[in-house]
Amino acid sequence: MANKPHLAAEDSFKKDAPLSRLHVAYKHSYTSDAFLDAAKNAPLDIDTKSGMLAVEAAVAIVINGIHYAVLMASPYQLEYLAIGFLYSEGLIQHSHELLDWDITQLTDDESYQDFTPDSFIQNSSNKDSLNSNLTDELISLDQLSEQLQDYDIYVVELVLNQRCHQRIQAQKRQLAGRTGCGMCGITGLTQALPDLSKYQINKPLLSRAMPSLDDLLSIQAQINVAQHTHQLTGAVHAAATLYEQQLYLFEDVGRHNALDKLIGWQLHHKAEVDYVLMTSRLSIELVQKSIRSRIPWLIGMSAPTSTAVRVAERYGLGLAGFLRDNRVTYYAGYADS
């Protein structure tokens, strides 16, 4: 891999990787008046329409040659996603612990085999000579060709320093991470329910950094304008912050991926932010990531879960939700609480 000690401002795949694709769909609908008469066999309108759909790519994270995890994510800002993911996993503490990186898109059988353990691929001509139980676990080249037609696949190869290597072995995940899941593949309760006391946020800092409703409505308006992929597809989340009066926005089909991208950017640029705004609900993995990153406030456009609020209160994270129209609801970290 080429030596790349610094990340570019824009992801190298952003210009080339498709973030959305055009698909034909069929819209069934009633007129508003006809809907009331649907039981009386009102006419159904069927329109053929074309729409943009968000690309959901399989992103394999390979660390020091170890296949660590597979994330379903939007295929851009992958450098930031990798750094944020490693930090959220506890594998790195600083971005300089990442010594090198490279990103490859797998486009054919040959490129796929280069990144797949040999024990999981077989030549279909040898299938009859294999034990039947073993055959069930193998992927034939014919099957592989069919699967590649359905998926966008990227491999992010990372090289961490020697100090981080044992952490990789101890925390290797067992499953692919689904788009909506920030904890898929975790096999131990200590990983899913970590002690975050060393990341506890200082309460005086939390009070000073409390964002006002005016500030939040201002950044929400900026996000609505800047969230281009969501405007096209209606299917991606965003994590955003203001830093030095400039909006930094990270979109992804997975809300936890969007936050990891922001965290990766934050680590790389050593940026201290006052708050992060998510366009999604606030679930526990988002709270855990924010606490690890010492983000004072996490705000969502939808509701938090009860577990998210309880953990935020324990570790000093400010939490607010239902940012919409002309209102916001503070759940933890409120100055008068």
Q: Which residues are catalytic?
A: 181
Question: How do strand 237-243 and strand 246-252 relate by DSSP bridges?
Answer: antiparallel
Q: Would you say 325 and 217 are in contact if contact means Cβ atoms under 8 Å apart?
A: no
Give the residue from 205, 336, 204 showing the smallest Cα distance to 275: 205
Give the residue from 226, 295, 309 showing the smallest Cα distance to 260: 295
AA letter at 70: V
Q: How many CA atoms lie within 13 A of 102 on its CB side?
A: 10
φ and ψ of 330, to 5 deg: -90, 130
* DSSP secondary structure code for residue 334 in this structure: -
Give the residue from 242, 275, 276 showing the smallest Cα distance to 259: 276
The CA distance from 167 to 206, in Å, is 31
Give the residue from 21, 27, 57, 56 showing the smallest Cα distance to 232: 21
Angle of helix 306-315 versus helix 284-292 axis, rounded to 10: 20
Structure tokens at 169: 């072995």
